[in-house]
Amino acid sequence: MSIDVHRSAVYRAEDQWSTLLDRGGRLDFFGTVLDIPMQLRFGDLAAMQTYVDALVPDPPRVRVRRGQTRAHYEPEECVIAIPMESTWAARESVLLHEAAHHLAHIHNNHMQHGAPFTGHMLQLVEAQLGEPAALVLRAGYHESGALVPVS
């Protein structure tokens, strides 16, 4: 398996973006005021599964992941694993990230954080949270050095 050279750049951009979504509201973005939605927080796996079911075709199953360090997508099992011992992972940005892995895998046979992943992530974000949220994430990807497909 090759090294995922864009992983840390994607995580940096998405961590900053997710923090912005935690607050939501108006954002002065280089002189343009954008309305950024607050991201959803989920109380249980059933709510997360309902969200993922409506998000992507042939949705992955959402299950509990042991530990608290990270969520992940398991392509062999078609599963999104979410740590539930802490509430950090029970939020919309995490589910969007893991669903983007699902789409990059089924459409591009790609599991890393390169252009197929960021392209699917931006499409999901625009569809779910709107163009302003996708614009801010795209700018974050660009600033962090993550690959972004030309659209």
The pLDDT score that the predictor gives to residue 151 is 53
Residue with tokens 């599963």: 79
Closest CA to 92 of 135, 137, 57: 137
pLDDT per residue, tens digit, the chain (151 aa), is 578 989 999 999 999 999 999 999 999 999 999 999 999 999 999 999 999 999 999 999 999 998 767 899 999 999 999 998 878 899 999 999 999 999 999 999 999 999 999 999 999 999 999 999 999 999 999 999 996 555 5
Cα 29–chain centre separation? 21
The pLDDT score that the predictor gives to residue 88 is 87
Closest CA to 88 of 124, 121, 51, 42: 42
The pLDDT score that the predictor gives to residue 68 is 67
Vertex 62: Cα angle to 91 and 118 (nearest 5): 60
The pLDDT score that the predictor gives to residue 85 is 84
DSSP 88: G
What are the tens digits of pLDDT across the range 50-88? 999 999 999 999 999 987 678 999 999 999 999 988 788
Give the pTM: 0.94
The pLDDT score that the predictor gives to residue 71 is 94
